[in-house]
Amino acid sequence: MKSRILLPSYQELSAMDKRFLHAMAQDQVDSSVPEVAERLKRSNSYTTQYKNRLLEQGLIGLRGAGRVGFELPVMREFLTGQNVEE
């Protein structure tokens, strides 16, 4: 079920969108946007563009000041089975 629902959405994402999600998946719970930027080796302003894109798509949501989390509880598990380059 996860692959039928999540895979098509995942495949439509840009490479950096995918990298952002994979960087988030390293956390057990919600992610700090500055920490995601550090993992991606990008500036906060650059990373914010991708955060906003993923927010608009409904894949992530705001969880407080500077924090985001997956809107779909199964997303973290799904991402562990996907290569970042896919």
Element (H, E) at 35: helix 33-40
- Pull the structure tokens for residue 19: 């990298």
pLDDT tens string 36-76: 999 999 999 999 999 999 999 999 999 999 999 999 889 99
Residue 53 maps to which CATH number? 1.10.10.10
- Asked whether residue 86 is domain-assigned, the answer is no
Q: What pLDDT was estimated at residue 2?
A: 63
- Domain total for the chain? 1
> Do residues 71 and 61 make contact, with C-beta atoms less than 8 angstroms apart?
yes
pTM of the model: 0.91
Q: Which residue range forms the structural domain that includes residue 30?
A: 2-80
Q: Please state, in angstroms and rounded to a whole number, the distance separating the CA atoms of residues 56 and 61.
A: 9
Averaged pLDDT, 76-80 = 89
Residue 8: pLDDT band (50, 70, 90) is confident
- Asked whether residue 85 is domain-assigned, the answer is no
